[in-house]
A and B are shown apart, each in its own frame.
Chain A
Amino acid sequence: MTDLTTQWLGLNLCSPLVVGASPLTDDLDALKACVDAGAGAVVMHSLFEEQLVAEQMAAHRFIDSRINTDAEARSFFPESDVFAMGSSSYLKRLEQLQSSLDVPVIASLNGISPGGWTQHARELEEAGASAIELNLYDLATDPSDTAITLEQRQLKVVRSVVQQVSIPVSVKLSPFYSALPSFVAGLEAAGAHGLVLFNRFYQPDMDLDELELSREVVLSTNAELPVRLHAMAMLFNRTGLEMAASGGVHTGDDAAKAILSGATVVQVVSALLAEGPSALARITDEMTQRLSAMGYTSLVEARGALSLDNAPNARTWERLNYARLLQGWQSMR
């Protein structure tokens, strides 16, 4: 049997399979079931900069702005300083998960402006987070915003979060970087400890009947796994950062492939949302059987075995272009 214990950001995990950031954070029973089924850690859903701001402004606009504006009623809600619009409910949740789950709980932050919101990182640490997963998402729509300025801005965010806390910080990226290895080097220099590859988004879609945009949660399939495998295989041994796979893991073989391409940890979300916590036990069993059958006694042996550096036909990782594959086929004749 393969020994599943692993180290992630300096934390000792009983398994590389981790519950990824998702609404499961709000379902304590499901999380407990995942932990019972063998999950090595739990990542909470993100505390969003955008949402914190929107929530405060909404309360300001729809509650505060109606105080003392009406001859008949002084206000339309009970005295409102009894609750605060901020991170407090997230922090309470974090404390609750920390005390009721036997595995590390990783908090998640999402924001892009290097402004004051990064101070929430400290609150997360104080509330007992074992680590912070920082979700960087920035969309360039301004033609004067170059890739360099955008990346510099993101590195600044990482630096300011890292400076706030003494717990490890991992960074969750989107798949869209033109020179990922160099950006990852920048992240390492900025003080990050791990990488989560990749984030996956709401899928904007079009409603052709209404002639407008729609947004839906579409769960992943394992067709989304290869782009992750590729990125990790390219980065393995070329970065000091540990890597977590996120996206498209639905079976034990998917998880095994992630590890073979270089992942230390494998996050699962869609499979859990679709199938329930039992998916975690299933994937664990399948993965263990597969890795054991392959003769691995520990994860360290398996990690990166099929990466760009280690795979026997490693050039396949680089030859993604159809034209070149066709040429290869012709020369075989």
Chain B
Amino acid sequence: MPTSRNPSVETWGRRGPEVVRRNVEAVDSALANLHEVTVPDEVTANRRRPPTVPEDAPDFVQKVTRLLMEGQGDKLPVSAFPIDGTWPTGTSQYEKRSIAQDIPIWESDLCVQCNFCAMICPHTAIVSKVFEPEAGKGAPDTFEAVPETHTPELVGLDYRIQVAPEDCTGCGLCVEVCPAKDRTQPKRKAINMRPLEDHREAEASNLAFLRSVPDVPRERIPRDFKSLPLLIPLFEYSGACAGCGETPYIRLLTQLLGDRLLLANATGCTSIYGGNLPTTPYTVNADGRGPTWNNSLFEDAAELGLGMRMGLNKLVGRARQLLEDMKSNLPAALYRDLTGPCATLDETAMAARREAVGRLRDWLADQQGPEVNELASLADELCPKSVWVIGGDGWAYDIGYGGLDHALASGQNLKLLVLDTEVYSNTGGQQSKATPMGAVAKFAAAGKETRKKDLGLLAMSYGHVYVAQIAMQSHSNQASKALQEAENYDGPALIIAHSPCIAHGYDLLHSPAQQKRAVDSWAWPLYRFDPRRTPEGLPPLQLDSVRQKVPMKAYMQEEARFRMLELRDPQRYEQLAAAASDAANEQRELYMQLAGIHFEPHERLNNPDTGAEHHD
């Protein structure tokens, strides 16, 4: 056997002697522990590989998805694909990877029902759920539930934290943020990482049971940040990196907007883990409805979303027109129920609207004529929908910026969510205009010299755009508020979301603490800019971060992208760190002034009628 010592030095020498020593030690102990395995003359095992997808998976998953997962996609005939370009969602649940060695196991006696674990999980692999105690009957023996005792609105329901053992990546974030500790043994929390093999079977059947338990009506769940994770997530088990900081934002969005969400997705990580092949994490609720997702290119997501919005406006306009034309024949109550106010976040109104659309369909079934048929095909458009554009910083700050700007300027009711990892993550860490000063990235190997573009400020300059900067791993309250304010705003909104990523070079287990440092150092200030405040005489900009609580370096020193520069060129690092600190100070001064600006209360005069869909 050739000695592998020299390759260790060649490959790892640049990292230092300790890395070489450990690699050599690993090789040596591998050699020392070799033992012979005798291969029997004939096959004696009677175990078989488990099927790629479970036997109860839907037909499409058996016939198409399975082959894609097995790498046999080329064998599929064109006739196997849906004819209209659509693709079924809800398929990631059939791709059981079981990649974690340890998974979180719940200790119900300690749990304080804060739902932080479910809020932060990048893979929706741990969920919190409330349900009628009756519905828990017939559960597996290991399925434990406790009365919900922390939210007055939910009294009488049962509560359970459930891991998806075969979808968990073992990142540990849920345990990291769990605040509940055993008083005599504080190492023991309300969830603890335990070996997958000890719990896999039991938790898999618990999960299957929990998924079959009916959800309580959406309007029962309060919309504060602690309760939001109780809403059913329609984005689950994505293939993002363990610990990814982008995915929780998307999951939260699907929890807030559920089946009324239309997504235009820029190409990038979001479209890779969010896309349809071989499986898609976007899924449907018990009624079979879920987000609609589309991806065109990298650069045109905002335009795609704008087109979706304007197309929807046309359809809604036409449906309303038809409704008006039939008003004299329609039962008055039905007409009223189809035209009253209905905001996408108003669950009671949305449920009533869906029910009214059902009645409209029943009524239309008894009518005759081409317009009747047309309205029947458009009836669903009477339920308001929300269009969100999702993409990374490479799209929003750089390559798709023109389109993003165009979409904001349009004044349309369109929301843009920028998952800002401060580099092109998916292609391997190239700098973007969102890369902060002093960070090492591809094409900025000596550390980026210029400031991060202030995308939020550019958007604020329009005056009619709702803008927020958020950081949900550490400040989920402010993030939840901003997402809901943006959705409720009848116009364009831009949300810039701090997204920890493996391209930052640290253990993402620490991302909640590190993100807090980013906020506290003003590397990532939190704010909300709401144009609705201006007519009231209030400054539209509200700073959710005020003071600089830790020095910029306290944030920078924790990530390899900054440390690489510090180690290579300490002087340049000092200069850039000082310049980054100055930049943050200047930005803070400017923002404080904007947040202190005074307007006289006034009517908005030339509120442009954009023809956008207003929440009637």
Q: Check if A64 sits within 8 Å of B272, measured CB to CB.
A: no
Question: Is A84 part of the contact surface with B, judged by Cβ < 8 Å?
Answer: yes
Q: Check if A77 sits within 8 Å of B560, measured CB to CB.
A: yes
Residue of B nearest to A62 (CB): B505
The residues of A that contact B272 with a CB separation of less than 8 Å are: 72
Q: Check if B445 sits within 8 Å of A78, measured CB to CB.
A: yes
The residues of A that contact B506 with a CB separation of less than 8 Å are: 58, 62
Q: Check if B568 sits within 8 Å of A82, measured CB to CB.
A: yes
Q: Check if B505 sits within 8 Å of A63, measured CB to CB.
A: yes
Question: Is B199 part of the contact surface with A, judged by Cβ < 8 Å?
Answer: no
The 0/1 profile, CB within 8 Å of B marked 1, for residues 69-90 of chain A is 0101111111111111110110
Stretch at the interface among B117-125, B395-403, B421-429: B421-429
Q: Check if B570 sits within 8 Å of A60, measured CB to CB.
A: no
The 0/1 profile, CB within 8 Å of B marked 1, for residues 3-27 of chain A is 0000000000000000000000010
The residues of B that contact A85 with a CB separation of less than 8 Å are: 15-16, 19, 567
Q: Check if B440 sits within 8 Å of A78, measured CB to CB.
A: yes
A62-B505, A92-B570 given; A76·B14 CB < 8 A: no
Q: How far is the CB of B342 from chain A (nearest CB, A)?
A: 41
The residues of B that contact A92 with a CB separation of less than 8 Å are: 570
Give A82 to B574 CA distance when docked, in angstroms. Answer: 19
Give A60 to B181 CA distance when docked, in angstroms. Answer: 33
The 0/1 profile, CB within 8 Å of A marked 1, for residues 8-33 of chain B is 00001011111101100000000000
Partner of A77, one of B15, B18, B21, B440: B440
The residues of A that contact B22 with a CB separation of less than 8 Å are: 57
Give A315 to B294 CA distance when docked, in angstroms. Answer: 87
B-contacting residues, A77-111, CB 8 Å: 77-86, 88-89, 92-93
Q: Check if A86 sits within 8 Å of B16, measured CB to CB.
A: yes
Q: Check if A66 sits within 8 Å of B502, measured CB to CB.
A: yes
Question: Is A212 part of the contact surface with B, judged by Cβ < 8 Å?
Answer: yes
The residues of B that contact A93 with a CB separation of less than 8 Å are: 570
Q: Check if A62 sits within 8 Å of B560, measured CB to CB.
A: yes
Residue of A nearest to B182 (CB): A211
The residues of B that contact A73 with a CB separation of less than 8 Å are: 426-429
Partner of B16, one of A56, A62, A212: A56
Q: Check if A57 sits within 8 Å of B19, measured CB to CB.
A: yes
The residues of B that contact A328 with a CB separation of less than 8 Å are: none
Question: Is B503 part of the contact surface with A, judged by Cβ < 8 Å?
Answer: yes
Give A58 to B507 CA distance when docked, in angstroms. Answer: 9
Q: Check if A211 sits within 8 Å of B183, measured CB to CB.
A: yes
Q: Check if B15 sits within 8 Å of A60, measured CB to CB.
A: yes
Partner of B18, one of A56, A62, A76: A56
The residues of A that contact B564 with a CB separation of less than 8 Å are: 77, 80, 83
Q: How far is the CB of B320 from chain A (nearest CB, A)?
A: 44
A77-B440, A77-B561 given; A83·B568 CB < 8 A: yes
Residue of B nearest to A212 (CB): B186
The 0/1 profile, CB within 8 Å of A marked 1, for residues 463-488 of chain B is 00000000000000000000000000
Question: Is A227 part of the contact surface with B, judged by Cβ < 8 Å?
Answer: no
Q: Check if A81 sits within 8 Å of B560, measured CB to CB.
A: no
A56-B18, A64-B15 given; A76·B183 CB < 8 A: no
The residues of B that contact A81 with a CB separation of less than 8 Å are: 14
Q: Check if A59 sits within 8 Å of B15, measured CB to CB.
A: yes
Give A64 to B564 CA distance when docked, in angstroms. Answer: 13
Question: Is B232 part of the contact surface with A, judged by Cβ < 8 Å?
Answer: no
Give A58 to B183 CA distance when docked, in angstroms. Answer: 33
Question: Is A52 part of the contact surface with B, judged by Cβ < 8 Å?
Answer: yes
Question: Is A53 part of the contact surface with B, judged by Cβ < 8 Å?
Answer: yes
Give A64 to B14 CA distance when docked, in angstroms. Answer: 11
The residues of A that contact B530 with a CB separation of less than 8 Å are: none
A57-B19, A77-B564 given; A211·B186 CB < 8 A: yes
Question: Is B441 part of the contact surface with A, judged by Cβ < 8 Å?
Answer: yes
Residue of A nearest to B428 (CB): A73
Question: Is B566 part of the contact surface with A, judged by Cβ < 8 Å?
Answer: yes
The residues of A that contact B226 with a CB separation of less than 8 Å are: none
The residues of A that contact B567 with a CB separation of less than 8 Å are: 55, 83-85, 88-89
Residue of B nearest to A88 (CB): B567
Q: How far is the CB of A74 from chain B (nearest CB, A)?
A: 6
Chain A facing B: main interface SS: helix
Q: Check if B445 sits within 8 Å of A82, measured CB to CB.
A: yes
Question: Is A116 part of the contact surface with B, judged by Cβ < 8 Å?
Answer: yes
Q: How far is the CB of A202 from chain B (nearest CB, A)?
A: 16
The residues of B that contact A74 with a CB separation of less than 8 Å are: 428
Give A88 to B13 CA distance when docked, in angstroms. Answer: 14
Partner of B429, one of A56, A61, A75, A82: A75
Q: How far is the CB of A42 from chain B (nearest CB, A)?
A: 17
A77-B442, A77-B561 given; A60·B12 CB < 8 A: yes
Q: Check if A78 sits within 8 Å of B442, measured CB to CB.
A: yes
The residues of A that contact B21 with a CB separation of less than 8 Å are: 116
Residue of A nearest to B23 (CB): A60
Q: Check if A57 sits within 8 Å of B566, measured CB to CB.
A: no
A-contacting residues, B247-277, CB 8 Å: 272
Give A55 to B18 CA distance when docked, in angstroms. Answer: 10
Q: Check if A63 sits within 8 Å of B560, measured CB to CB.
A: yes
Give A261 to B209 CA distance when docked, in angstroms. Answer: 76
Give A61 to B507 CA distance when docked, in angstroms. Answer: 9
Q: How far is the CB of B192 from chain A (nearest CB, A)?
A: 15
The residues of B that contact A59 with a CB separation of less than 8 Å are: 15, 19, 560
The residues of B that contact A64 with a CB separation of less than 8 Å are: 12, 15
Give A75 to B430 CA distance when docked, in angstroms. Answer: 10
The 0/1 profile, CB within 8 Å of B marked 1, for residues 117-138 of chain A is 0000000000000000000000
A-contacting residues, B563-596, CB 8 Å: 563-564, 566-568, 570, 574
Residue of A nearest to B429 (CB): A76
Give A66 to B445 CA distance when docked, in angstroms. Answer: 18
The residues of B that contact A57 with a CB separation of less than 8 Å are: 18-19, 22
Partner of A76, one of B19, B186, B428: B428
Q: Check if A62 sits within 8 Å of B428, measured CB to CB.
A: no
The residues of B that contact A72 with a CB separation of less than 8 Å are: 272, 426-428
Partner of A89, one of B441, B442, B566: B566
The residues of B that contact A76 with a CB separation of less than 8 Å are: 425, 428-429, 502-503, 505
A62-B506, A76-B503, A77-B560 given; A52·B18 CB < 8 A: yes
Q: Check if A78 sits within 8 Å of B426, measured CB to CB.
A: no
Partner of A53, one of B18, B183, B507, B561: B18
The residues of B that contact A53 with a CB separation of less than 8 Å are: 18
Q: Check if B570 sits within 8 Å of A84, measured CB to CB.
A: no
Interface centre among B18, B428, B563 (most CB of A within 10 A): B18
Q: Check if A211 sits within 8 Å of B16, measured CB to CB.
A: no
The 0/1 profile, CB within 8 Å of A marked 1, for residues 387-428 of chain B is 000000000000000000000000000000000000001111
Q: Check if A60 sits within 8 Å of B19, measured CB to CB.
A: yes
Give A55 to B564 CA distance when docked, in angstroms. Answer: 11
The residues of B that contact A66 with a CB separation of less than 8 Å are: 502
Residue of B nearest to A75 (CB): B428
The 0/1 profile, CB within 8 Å of A marked 1, for residues 497-529 of chain B is 000001101110000000000000000000000
The residues of A that contact B502 with a CB separation of less than 8 Å are: 62, 66, 76
B-contacting residues, A25-56, CB 8 Å: 26, 52-53, 55-56
Give A88 to B18 CA distance when docked, in angstroms. Answer: 15
Given contacts A64-B12, A72-B426, A83-B568, 13 further A-B contacts (CB under 8 A): A55-B567, A56-B17, A60-B15, A62-B505, A66-B502, A77-B560, A78-B441, A80-B14, A82-B568, A85-B15, A89-B567, A92-B570, A116-B21
Shortest Cβ-Cβ A-B pairs, 10 listed: A73-B428, A83-B568, A56-B16, A78-B445, A76-B429, A81-B14, A76-B503, A86-B16, A211-B186, A56-B18
A-B residue pairs in contact (CB < 8 Å), sample of 12: A56-B15, A57-B18, A58-B506, A59-B15, A59-B560, A66-B502, A72-B427, A78-B440, A80-B564, A85-B16, A89-B570, A93-B570
